[in-house]
Structure formats: C-alpha cells, structure tokens
C-alpha cells in the first residue's frame, strides 16, 4: 500500500508544484506531525487509503469494453472473448492501481483467447476520493466470484494479491492464481507509505495504527503463511528482483510455502512496471489462459 508502490509519488499537483511549494508543504506537515501526531497520522492514514486514480469512462469505449456494476461501489471492466468457450480470467489491481497498468496484460490475454474481467475496486469509479482498504478489496473479490464466477484463473497485483490470499484463506476457490508483486509483509509496506509522507516517530506510529483500523476486520499483520500452505491449485508467483515496495525475498518465501507454486523473478522492471514488461506479461497471459 505504499503510495509509490501503486504508481503514486505524491500526486500530480505535487509532482508539478515548484520546489519551494513542496518544501513549504513538507515543513507544514512536519510541524503538524510534531504538534498533533495523533490527528496528523489519522488524517494521512485515510488519505493514504483513498485512491488518487479513477476510471476514465473514455477508456471503456476506447477499448471496446463493457462496464458491469458490482455492488454499489465497484464494477467490472469486461473484455469479451474473441471466440466461444474461452477461459475466463479475473484481474485484481492494487489499492491505488489504475486500469492503464493492465493494458498490455489484457491485450496479451485476449490474444491468448481469454475473456477478461478487470475489477474496478471501490474508490476507483469516480473522482471523489473514497476508501479502498483491505476491508473493501477482499469483499469485492468475493462478491465478484459469487456474482460473476466461476473464473478459470485470477491474476492479482500488489495489495490485490495480498487480498487474494485473505480470500483464499476464507475458502475462495481458484483453480489458477497468479500473484504479482505481492507484499507479504503489509505492515512494512504501510510503514514505507508513511515515511514517504515524511512521517516519523509518534506520527508514523499513529499513521500505521490508523491504516490498520481502516482495514478492519482484515489485520495487515495477519500471518500470510496459513492460506499459502493450504493453497490447492496452480500458482504462479511473478516478481521483479528490484521491487522497491515488496522485497523479492517475500516472493521467494511465498512460493516456497505454497505447494507446487512456480516462481519467476525478472531482472527487468520493478513493482509496477513489471506489468508492462513484455516477457512477464506474455508469461502471465499464457499461464492465466491455461496455455
């Protein structure tokens, strides 16, 4: 859930702001954190879990997709198969992921003959920034499978992959699963997000506690090993060696814990750009489409 881990480095306005404006903003944040660490940590925890990205409706028409409502706050971006009897694949982004990150993988999957549903998570349908925490992502995955399943395969990225592990632990059936850039140590990822805001000390502790509260009943510190060891089905773990948000050691441990899991580590790409790395995308498409 680190902001940079989902393609976020402070927001478009901050990226375009003059250096002096950024320095003033950072000084103000440090002052607020020193004077009111609890309030500052809580406010930034809510902002951290409120996605900066949302669905561009023009993207739906441009790619010939269909937007299918999923409950009140989520949707599916549905790409129909090019032939009958095609395998059905569900893709799950991270908590601040954007559909554009998956353009290459969707294209490769359709070329492989699959029908693709891309989950638009809560907080991503409209520009208004609303929460997208574990408490939103895990139920959205389960609702998707309940209302639109079964799927032949599920591919999930970042916090979406960690959320899929929660769902698998709750008994979700998934014949094939691809776990991409998976942060098995979510507290470390959350801490990274807080330090990217410039938080430290008491304010950072309040930030971490605030994020955990907003994720309830799913505790970010829950041990990932039991659902991994209980996994039944084909699993592909894909990771970039130079992933700054989720160290590759976690992916190695995950694949070792999962019976029969296959691990593929790529030297090129990082936490997000691995989705646009052609060899990784082709491998994922072949696996998810059952090739």
CATH of the domain at 111: 3.40.50.1820
Residue 18 lies in a domain: no
Question: Looking at the domain assignment, is residue 38 inside a domain?
Answer: no
In a domain, 17, yes or no: no
Q: Does residue 145 belong to any structural domain of this protein?
A: yes
Tell me what pLDDT residue 59 has: 72
- 49 within a domain of the structure (yes/no): no
Backbone angles phi, psi at 271, to 5 degrees: -55, -45
**Per-residue pLDDT, 4:** 38
What is the pLDDT at residue 97?
85
Q: Look at residue 238 and tell me if it is in a domain.
A: yes
* pLDDT of amino acid 127: 86
pLDDT at 31: 66
- Over the chain (291 residues), what is each successive 10-residue block's mean pLDDT? 38 42 67 71 92 81 86 93 87 90 95 96 90 97 95 97 97 95 97 91 94 97 97 96 96 97 96 95 97 67
Q: Is residue 4 part of a domain?
A: no
Going across the sheet that includes 176-180, the strands are 66-70, 74-79, 115-120, 88-92, 153-157, 176-180, 234-240, 262-266
Domain with 141, as residue range(s), is: 58-193+218-289
Tell me if 21 is assigned to some domain. Answer: no
Q: What is the CA radius of gyration of the chain?
A: 19
The number of distinct structural domains making up the chain is 1
């Amino acid at each position: 859930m680190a902001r940079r881990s989902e393609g976020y480095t402070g927001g478009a306005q901050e990226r375009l702001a003059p250096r002096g404006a950024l320095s003033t903003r950072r000084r103000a944040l440090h002052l607020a954190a020193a004077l009111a660490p609890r309030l500052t940590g809580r406010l930034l925890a809510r902002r951290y879990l409120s996605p900066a990205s949302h669905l561009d409706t023009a993207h739906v028409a441009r790619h010939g997709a269909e937007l299918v409502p999923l409950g009140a706050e989520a949707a599916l971006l549905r790409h129909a198969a090019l032939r009958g009897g095609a395998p059905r694949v569900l893709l799950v982004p991270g908590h601040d992921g954007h559909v554009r990150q998956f353009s290459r993988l969707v294209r490769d999957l359709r070329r492989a003959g699959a029908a693709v549903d891309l989950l638009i998570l809560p907080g991503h349908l409209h520009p208004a920034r609303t929460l997208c925490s574990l408490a939103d992502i895990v139920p959205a995955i389960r609702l998707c499978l309940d209302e639109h399943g079964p799927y032949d395969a599920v591919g999930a990225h970042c916090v979406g992959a960690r959320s899929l592990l929660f769902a698998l632990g709750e008994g979700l059936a998934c014949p094939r699963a691809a776990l991409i850039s998976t942060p098995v140590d979510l507290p470390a990822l959350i801490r990274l997000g807080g330090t990217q805001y410039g938080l430290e000390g008491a304010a950072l502790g309040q930030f971490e506690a605030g994020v955990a509260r907003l994720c309830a009943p799913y505790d970010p510190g829950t041990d990932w090993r039991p659902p991994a060891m209980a996994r039944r089905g084909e699993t592909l773990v894909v990771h970039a060696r130079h992933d700054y948000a989720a160290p590759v050691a976690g992916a190695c441990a995950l694949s070792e814990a999962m019976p029969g899991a296959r691990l593929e580590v790529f030297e090129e790409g990082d936490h997000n750009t691995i989705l646009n790395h052609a060899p990784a995308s082709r491998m994922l498409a072949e696996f998810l489409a059952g090739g």
